[in-house]
Amino acid sequence: MGAMIGSGMVVRSLPYKEGFGAKQIAWMVHSGIIGAVIAPLTLLGGPIMIRAACYTAGVVGGKSVYITMYNHFKCLCNKVLGTSI
């Protein structure tokens, strides 16, 4: 638990720069730590944990698609119609 908190603090403390750098590496390490903590819980929690993970993935994936399409539509309106949403 301490590793999750500590790695999250490291990720948030690093400044963002374009391209692949220290923040992206820290984020990958943080994601790996989160995965290492959650993976054993799926063995202990069984079907309920896996169902919750599937629902979470569906909601997050749906939000990502919505935001991507919204930004694309907003850009399209600016270029074609000369208006903004």
> What is the residue extent of each domain of the chain?
1-45, 46-85
* Side-chain-side CA neighbours of residue 22 (13 Å): 8
By the 8 A CB rule, do 26 and 14 touch?
Answer: yes
Q: Are the beta carbons of 17 and 27 closer than 8 angstroms?
A: no
C-alpha span between 74 and 58 (Å, rounded):
24
pLDDT digits (tens, 9 = 90+) for 14-53: 888 888 888 899 989 999 999 888 888 777 777 888 888 8
The confidence band for 67, taking pLDDT boundaries of 50, 70 and 90, is confident
Q: Do the beta carbons of residue 15 and residue 23 sit within 8 Å? A: yes
Count CB atoms within 10 A of the CB of residue 30.
19
pTM over 0.85: no
